[in-house]
Amino acid sequence: MSNPYGQQPPYGQPGRQPNPYGQPQQPYGQPQPQGYGQQGYGQAPQQGYGQYGQQQWSPPPPARPSLRRFGMPVVTMDVVPGRETADVLGPVVSVVARTRELRPDLRNAGVVEGYTAMLTDSRQDAIAKVVDMAREAGADAIVGLRFDCSEITQSLSEVVAYGTAVTLAPVADAGAEQAAPTSSF
């Protein structure tokens, strides 16, 4: 069998034709070799080691959520432990609307970790706004903090934080009571 380029199939491999441009063809079902750092269109990047034996860089996971301090007691209970409520100022509410799409800094961390970090941030931001509203009203604390979440549109969701703004009774000075002299008569 002859071909127009004058090359013959390799010995022992009938029907396998060499590439007329000098590069050997791979049998069907085996990956085609790629050039320097190239990958096929629409294929996932190769994992493992990159060029020159260096491991490919992967972004660090998002920071783990940590406790935020808000400058006033914010509790899910109906009272602040160890304090008496002097006055109820009223309900405080905040709404945080966020896109349901992962932020760029969270996309490479994995879907579950990325959404967990984003939802935690949304709730903490909603608490911060409730605290600002309560502070403006003259509150000392927020009791009965609750959350509500819902979908606004296919691409937007909301996190609502709400509670009751209260003022607290002054703490009785326990040291002054003990320092008062008692009569022994």
Neighbours of 172 (CB within 10 A): 9
| 79 compared with 24, residue with greater pLDDT | 79
CB atoms within 10 A of CB 24: 9
**Look-up: residue for tokens 């931001």?**
125
Confidence bin at 34 (pLDDT 50/70/90): low
144, 164 Cβ separation under 8 angstroms: yes
State yes or no: pLDDT of 24 exceeds 80.
Answer: no
pLDDT higher than 90, residue 184: no
| 3 state SS of 95 | strand
Residue with tokens 């380029």: 5
Closest by CA position to 88, among listed 171, 146, 164, 163: 164
Cβ atoms within 10 Å of 163's Cβ, excluding its own: 25
Give the CATH number of domain 85-168. 3.30.110.70
pLDDT in tens, 61-97: 666 777 788 889 999 999 999 999 999 999 999 999 9
